[in-house]
Amino acid sequence: MALYEYNALDGQGRQQRGVVEALGQKAAGRKLREQGLFPTRLVVAGHSRETGRKPLFKRVDTLQLGVATRQLSTMLTAGMPLDEALATVAEQQPGALGPVLSRIRDDILQGSALHLALQAQPRIFPPLYTNMVRVGEASGTLDKVLLQLAEFMDEQARFSAQFRAALTYPFLMFLVGSGVLMFLMTFVVPKITRMLKDMDQALPLPTLWLMSLSGFLAAYWWLLALLALLLFWFARRYTLTSRGRLWFDEIKFRLPLLGPLSLQNATARFARTTATLLRSGVPLLTALEIVQGLMGNNYLQQALEVVRDKVTEGAGLAEPLREAQVFPGMLSQMAAVGERSGELDGMLIKVAEIYEHQVQTRLNSLMALLEPLMILVMGSVVGFIVLAVLLPIFQASQGLG
């Protein structure tokens, strides 16, 4: 099924605009004519007939979307009609989200369902969002589903912000330290070593090593930079292939220290997203299909494809997860407990909370270890440079004495 935007005339000749879901363009036109509408324009939702591109709106920050979703849920709970709630929330949103919500409101007024209007903006609203809204509309619990979505997005935004903040300081420290060392080795040290050569004496071994390394970097830094760019280009090209992307996505989880951390982060995301979908009434197979597309990792997506096939054949969730041997064992164990107790979504939420806490704790411990280690390494390098420069000066002063 695909979504098609249309402009049409009704029986009284009035202009109508909206979104229709159909298997193809001809089927969409036939569906509109059955509704008494005569389409004058019919294109794939979110695309321009002239360019075939998606020029409508940029992506919206998850935190902002979560705030807008919570506001919309509150207004619906208070009894405000959907179109009025959308108009009110749209007025309060900066950037691209306000016009998006205004357009969705227009589609609602033209008779479109909310989930179809959301699907017309795939860059803003992911499949998880639109499918949960569709379930909420069908069950008459749209306000509650929107509240669940807001809480889910708030939690995801908070966790992602903590993860990025923990990595920012050591990355900046490494970048600045490397730049300072490169400046010393290519500009400062060569001037000092020329002065040491003029002293006309035997230089100690550390000074000779420093002079050789400094001379090489000063003469061939451009070659090293070119090689680094070529290596990055070839690696990028390789990861754009299906085989290369699969290898790269798998190797992420096999790296020392960071590999287990990445896997726990992915496990927490899988558990929380699946639980949120199940809690809103989305069937397990549909939830697995949605989560599979949201993982952003080909290695995990392949594993979840196998899990989904086995669930389709009648298996539960726990056993296929255990047989996949990708996620940590606790996930399948807790899923088994949840299936036996009829509380699968609750158990998956507990798994997500456990692994999110573990990721945060281990990340903090790793950063606490990494910072002094980086200081020690950079201090040792600077100390070696200072020693190599001062040794011949010290020897010369002893000779003069």
Each residue's pLDDT tens digit, 174-184: 888 888 888 87
Q: How confident is the model at residue 25 (pLDDT cuts 50, 70, 90)?
A: low
Indicate if the pLDDT at residue 55 is higher than 60: no
Highest mean pLDDT among 7-21, 37-51, 245-259, 315-329: 315-329
Q: For residue range 261-292, list pLDDT tens digits in order.
A: 889 988 988 998 888 888 878 888 888 888 88
Judgement on whether residues 160 and 104 belong to the same structural domain of the protein: no
Does the residue 53 lie in any domain? no
Mean pLDDT of 234-251: 85
Judgement on whether residues 243 and 347 belong to the same structural domain of the protein: yes
Judgement on whether residues 277 and 342 belong to the same structural domain of the protein: yes
Does the residue 55 lie in any domain? no
Indicate if the pLDDT at residue 73 is higher than 50: yes
Phi/psi of residue 18, nearest 5 degrees: 180, -160
Indicate if the pLDDT at residue 299 is higher than 60: yes
- In this prediction, residue 261 carries a pLDDT of 86
Q: How confident is the model at residue 2 (pLDDT cuts 50, 70, 90)?
A: low
Q: How confident is the model at residue 229 (pLDDT cuts 50, 70, 90)?
A: very high
Mean pLDDT of 236-242: 84
What b-and-e string marks burial along 310-319, b requiring 16 or more CB atoms within 10 Å of the CB?
Answer: bbeeeebbbb
Q: How confident is the model at residue 347 (pLDDT cuts 50, 70, 90)?
A: very high
Dihedral angle, C-alpha 170, 172, 176, 178, nearest 10 °:
60
- In this prediction, residue 52 carries a pLDDT of 38
Judgement on whether residues 399 and 294 belong to the same structural domain of the protein: yes
Instruction: Say what the pTM is.
Output: 0.64
Mean pLDDT of 245-266: 86
Q: How confident is the model at residue 233 (pLDDT cuts 50, 70, 90)?
A: very high
Phi/psi of residue 17, nearest 5 degrees: -140, 145
Judgement on whether residues 284 and 351 belong to the same structural domain of the protein: yes
Residue 274's alpha-carbon distances to 57, 166, 279, 347, 348, in angstroms, are 28, 26, 8, 11, 8
Closest listed residue to residue 119, CA positions, set 107, 102, 110, 136: 107
Indicate if the pLDDT at residue 334 is higher than 60: yes
Judgement on whether residues 74 and 172 belong to the same structural domain of the protein: no
pLDDT averaged over the chain? 81
Indicate if the pLDDT at residue 199 is higher than 70: no
Pairing between β-strand 38-44 and β-strand 2-9 as defined by DSSP bridges:
antiparallel
- Which of 154, 187, 202 terminates a domain? The answer is 154
Contacts of 331 (CB under 8 A, 6+ apart): 267, 270, 271, 321, 351
Judgement on whether residues 82 and 96 belong to the same structural domain of the protein: yes
- Which of 98, 131, 154 terminates a domain? The answer is 154
CATH of the domain at 107: 1.20.81.30
- In this prediction, residue 230 carries a pLDDT of 94
Tally of structural domains, the chain: 3
Cα–Cα distance measured from residue 239 to residue 267, given in angstroms and rounded to the nearest whole number: 23
Strands of 38-44's sheet, edge to edge?
15-22, 2-9, 38-44
Q: How confident is the model at residue 333 (pLDDT cuts 50, 70, 90)?
A: very high
What proportion of the chain, given as a percentage, has pLDDT over 90?
9
Judgement on whether residues 307 and 214 belong to the same structural domain of the protein: yes
Does the residue 121 lie in any domain? yes
Does the residue 85 lie in any domain? yes
Judgement on whether residues 141 and 267 belong to the same structural domain of the protein: no
Question: Locate tokens 């908070």: which residue?
Answer: 158
Does the residue 51 lie in any domain? no
Pairing between β-strand 38-44 and β-strand 15-22 as defined by DSSP bridges:
unpaired
Judgement on whether residues 91 and 199 belong to the same structural domain of the protein: no
Residue span of the structural domain in which 195 resides: 155-401
- Which of 108, 125, 154 terminates a domain? The answer is 154
Does the residue 285 lie in any domain? yes
Cα–Cα distance measured from residue 79 to residue 123, given in angstroms and rounded to the nearest whole number: 29
Closest listed residue to residue 334, CA positions, set 270, 259, 271, 286: 271
Q: Are 291 and 314 in contact (CB under 8 A)?
A: no
Q: Are 386 and 185 in contact (CB under 8 A)?
A: no
Give a three-class secondary structure readout of the chain: CEEEEEEEECCCCCEEEEEEEECCHHHHHHHHHHCCCEEEEEEECCCCCCCCCCCCCCCCCHHHHHHHHHHHHHHHHCCCCHHHHHHHHHHHCCCCHHHHHHHHHHHHHCCCCHHHHHHCCCCCCCHHHHHHHHHHHHHCCHHHHHHHHHHHHHHHHHHHHHHHHHHHHHHHHHHHHHHHHHHHHHHHHHHHHHHHHCCCCCCCHHHHHHHHHHHHHHHHHHHHHHHHHHHHHHHHHHHHCHHHHHHHHHHHHHCCCHHHHHHHHHHHHHHHHHHHHHHCCCCHHHHHHHHHHHCCCHHHHHHHHHHHHHHHCCCCCHHHHHHHCCCCHHHHHHHHHHHHHCCHHHHHHHHHHHHHHHHHHHHHHHHHHHHHHHHHHHHHHHHHHHHHHHHHHHHHHHHHC
- In this prediction, residue 44 carries a pLDDT of 62
- In this prediction, residue 168 carries a pLDDT of 79
Does the residue 296 lie in any domain? yes
- In this prediction, residue 336 carries a pLDDT of 92
Q: Which of residues 370 and 264 earns the better pLDDT score?
A: 264
Mean pLDDT of 375-393: 83
Judgement on whether residues 280 and 386 belong to the same structural domain of the protein: yes
Judgement on whether residues 80 and 37 belong to the same structural domain of the protein: no
- In this prediction, residue 47 carries a pLDDT of 44
Q: How confident is the model at residue 165 (pLDDT cuts 50, 70, 90)?
A: confident
Mean pLDDT of 338-357: 90
Q: Which of residues 198 and 228 earns the better pLDDT score?
A: 228
Does the residue 132 lie in any domain? yes
